[in-house]
Structure 1
Amino acid sequence: MKTIAITVFGTRVSSRLDCAEGVLLVTLDGNAIKNREQVRLVQTNPWEKINTLLQLGIDVLICGGVPDIYANKLRDSGMQLVPWVRGEAEEVLSNFLAGKLSKREAVQQRRI
């Protein structure tokens, strides 16, 4: 099984990982969605959010902008990071699962 998470703010991918109010957490069995849930990120400290994400056992994290210091911590843990994505979370999930996450959904990477 594989766990995918998308950082969200409302129904959209959060523009910055450290400002996300929650994650859409999806468990896959092969290509089929086995479970999905919304997990709130109530922490205000970005490092606490990062630690919560690490504790969720996420394999792939799809997010918006992410400062290098947080990206490095997540990657060092073995998590696959798909940053600089924008759009409606459900549409992004569908496109990711279909292998069609388009450049329209990804913004040009910049350092923050």
Structure 2
Amino acid sequence: MKIAVTYENGNIFQHFGHCESFKIYEVEDGAVKSRQVVSAVGSGHGALAGFLSENGVDALICGGIGGGARAALAEAGIRLYPGAAGNADDSVNALLSGKLVYNPDVECAHHHDGEHSCGEHHCSTDKHGCPGNH
């Protein structure tokens, strides 16, 4: 089984569609056997589900995520654990022990006034490739 986490500086990155890297964990018999950070730069919103599928990912832990990405992940057969925050390694261990805190109903909401909210972050200026004016 492979679990991916939207990743930045050791933590869960909070905007799936602007994620530049994922940490992918190979799990066997309920324990992490290997982990690696992979770059997703240039993939963008629409291609990230395909990128994860091509990397053999079975489950994704992330922060905010939009409806289109949710549908693409579901179509790819990738289980989704959105609305999570904190350390990436800790989140995978929590998932494996059945204790991951996440919000299955969280959805990235883009607004028309130049600011949007994604899980735990808000932006109206350029940050991590998020221009804030969709």
Q: Relative to structure 1, is the Cα distance of residues 50 and 30 closer, same or farther in structure 2, using a 3 angstrom cutoff?
A: same
Q: Please give the per-residue CA displacement for 1:50-89, whole angstroms capped at 9, x wherever unaligned.
A: 3211211111111111100111111111110111111111
- Which residue does the alignment assign to 1:17? 16
What percentage of aligned pairs have identical amino acids? Answer: 25
Equivalent residues in 2 for 1:52-63, closer than 5 Å:
52-63=51-62
Residues matched between the structures, number: 109
Q: Relative to structure 1, is the Cα distance of residues 106 and 87 closer, same or farther in structure 2, using a 3 angstrom cutoff?
A: farther
Larger Rg: 2
Runs (4+) of structure 1 exceeding 3 A deviation are 105-108
- Which residue does the alignment assign to 1:5? 4
Q: 2:106 aligns with which of 73, 95, 109?
A: 109
Q: Relative to structure 1, is the Cα distance of residues 44 and 60 closer, same or farther in structure 2, using a 3 angstrom cutoff?
A: closer
Question: Structure 1: which 5+ residue stretches go unaligned?
Answer: none
Distance in 1 of aligned mates of 2:88 and 2:58:
17
Q: Relative to structure 1, is the Cα distance of residues 29 and 42 closer, same or farther in structure 2, using a 3 angstrom cutoff?
A: same
Q: Report the TM-score when normalising by structure 2.
A: 0.73
Contact 2:66 2:107 in 1 (8 A): no
- SS of the aligned residue for 2:83 comes to coil
Q: Please give the per-residue CA displacement for 1:14-70, whole angstroms capped at 9, x wherever unaligned.
A: 111012121110111111222211111111532233321121111111111110011
- SS of the aligned residue for 2:86 comes to coil
User: Which of structures 1 and 2 has the larger relative contact order (alpha carbons within 8 angstroms, sep 6+)?
Assistant: 1
User: For residue 81 of structure 1, what is the amino acid of its counterpart?
Assistant: L
Deviation, 1:107, is: 8.8
Deviation, 1:106, is: 4.6
Question: Structure 2: which 5+ residue stretches go unaligned?
Answer: 110-134
Q: Report the TM-score when normalising by structure 1.
A: 0.85
